[in-house]
Amino acid sequence: MSAKPMSHRQIMEALSGLLLVLFVAMASSTIVSTALPKIIGALDGSQTQYTWVVTASLLTATASTPIWGKLADLYSKKLLVQIAIVVFVLGSVVAGFSQTAGQLIAARAFQGLGMGGVQALVQVAIAAMIPPRERGKYNGYLGGVMAVATVGGPLLGGVIVDTAWLGWRWCFYIGVPIAIIALVVLQKTLNLAVIRRENVKVDYVGASLIAAGVSILLVWVSFVDSSFAWLSWQTYAMVGVGLVVLALAVWVETRVAEPVVPLEIVKQRGTALAIIASLAVGMAMFGGAVFLGQYFQIGRGYSPTEAGLLTIPMMAGVLVSSTVAGRLISKSGRIKPYIVAGTLILVAGFAGLSMLDHDTSLWYVGGAMALVGIGVGMSMQNLVLSVQNTVALKDIGAASSTVAFFRSLGGTIGVSVLGAVLAHRVTDNLTHELAAAGIQSSGSAAASSSLNLSALPEAIQHLVRVAYGDATGHIFLISAIIAVVGVIAALLMKPTALRSTVDLTKAAEETPAAEDEAQIPAEALAR
Alpha-carbon distance of 135 to 11, in angstroms, equals 11
Residues 28 and 78 in one domain: yes
One domain for residues 362 and 249? no
Reference 207, options 263, 257, 246; nearest CA is 246
Amino acid type, 408: S
Kindly report the average pLDDT of the chain as a whole number. Answer: 81
Distance between CA atoms of 424 and 496, rounded to whole angstroms? Answer: 42
Residue 360 lies in a domain: yes
Residues 69 and 184 in one domain: yes
Residues 252 and 269 placed together within one structural domain of the fold? no
Burial 427-462 (b: 16+ CB within 10 A, else e): bebbbebbeeeebeeebbeebbbbbebeebeeebbb
User: Which residue among 194, 212, 243 closes a domain?
Assistant: 194
Tell me, rounded to whole angstroms, the distance of Cα 515 from its chain centroid.
30
**pTM of the shown model:** 0.81
Regarding whether 176 and 210 lie in a shared domain, the answer is no
How many CB atoms neighbour CB 103 within 10 A? 14
CA distance 357 to 352: 11
Q: Which domain holds residue 222?
A: 203-257
> Which CATH number fits the domain that encloses residue 168?
1.20.1250.20
Is 196 buried (19+), middle (13-18) or exposed (0-12) by CB count in 10 A? exposed
Residue at 25 is within a domain: yes
Residue 446: its pLDDT value, please?
45
Whether 287 and 210 share a structural domain:
no
- How many domains does the chain divide into? 3
Distance between CA atoms of residues 201 and 131, nearest Å: 26
Write the pLDDT tens digit of every residue in 405-450: 888 888 888 888 888 888 888 888 787 777 776 666 554 444 445 5
Which pLDDT value is given to residue 512?
Answer: 41
CA 118 to chain centre: 14
Q: Is residue 443 part of a domain?
A: no
Examine the domain organization and report whether 50 and 160 are in the same domain. yes
156 & 111 share domain: yes
Measuring CA to CA, which residue among 431, 496, 493 is closest to residue 463? 431
Q: Helix, strand, or coil here: 227? A: coil
Q: What is the rounded CA–CA span in Å between residue 398 and residue 463?
A: 50
CA dihedral of 263, 269, 272, 278, whole degrees rounded to 10: -150
- The span from the CA of 440 to the CA of 24, in Å, is 47
pLDDT recorded at residue 89: 93
Domain membership of residue 431 (yes or no) is no
Indicate the residue among 257, 275, 303 that finishes a domain. Answer: 257
Residue 435 lies in a domain: no
pLDDT, position 269: 84
DSSP 432: H
Statement to judge: residues 252 and 312 lie in one domain: no
User: Within a domain: residue 189?
Assistant: yes
- Rounded-to-integer distance, Cα 157 and Cα 38, Å: 10
Same-domain pairing of 387 and 302: yes
Whether residues 185 and 214 fall in one domain: no
d(CA 445, CA 457): 15
Final residue belonging to a domain, choices 238, 257, 276? 257
At 141, which amino acid appears? Y
Q: What would the pLDDT profile of 84-141 be if each residue is shown by its tens digit?
A: 999 999 999 999 999 999 999 999 999 999 988 888 888 778 777 776 666 556 666 7
Are 240 and 355 in the same domain?
no
CA distance 164 to 306: 16
Using alpha carbons, select from 351, 353, 349, 345 the residue that is nearest to residue 325: 345
Regions of the chain short of the pLDDT cut 70: 1-6, 131-140, 143-144, 147, 193-200, 288, 393-395, 397, 437-455, 497-527
